[in-house]
Amino acid sequence: MRYPPDPRWYAVHTRAHHERRVAEELAARGFETFFPEYPAWSRRRDRRARVLRPLFPGYLFVRARLDAQRHLDIRKTRSVVRLLGRGRQPLPVPDHQVESIRLLLGRAGDAGPRRELRPGQLVQVMEGPLAGVVGVVERCQGRARIVVNVDLLGRSVAATLGTESLTPFFDPPAEEIPGR
């Protein structure tokens, strides 16, 4: 196998929900790691809590000057599945992509994955004065704002809400939702 002579970022595939443990173990072995997380609301039975969720579930980044031994050290780490690449050859992730993720997460308070919502989709409001309300997406205004149409007592109430406060409720077949 041929390895680049300078340190590069590599994507490490881990077992589900083991990303943080792998990042800590690799860091303890002297590797530079980057495990991007974003804050999100988590629903529990009796409360809601702000938690950190992985931006790329099942993956993290490690920066190393890879050689056969270092590659083996990473692969032998508990809960590591593999380094992403072509066949057995790990492929580096461009530095600018990793740095862009770092900058976005460091500077933007609401950085995180975005759900693609579409007109007619049922959603539930997760925060704010309408928390718990289930409605239908009436129209999307760009990527950040949508209008939800909610039937209350036979009347419609429209509210413009950010996508971060909405979660898909369920998506029944199109023939079950009038107007779709």
Note the pTM of the prediction, 2 decimals: 0.63
pLDDT tens, 80-102?
Answer: 999 999 888 999 999 888 888 88
Question: pLDDT value at position 177?
Answer: 44
What is the rounded distance in angstroms from the CA atom of residue 113 to the CA atom of residue 28? 29
What are the chain's domains? 8-107 (3.30.70.940), 122-176 (2.30.30.30)
Q: Are 26 and 7 in contact (CB under 8 A)?
A: no
Question: pLDDT value at position 67?
Answer: 92
pLDDT tens, 130-168?
Answer: 777 777 787 776 544 455 444 444 455 567 777 777 777
The mean-pLDDT minimum among 35-44, 94-103, 109-118, 146-155 falls in 146-155
Q: Are 132 and 125 in contact (CB under 8 A)?
A: yes
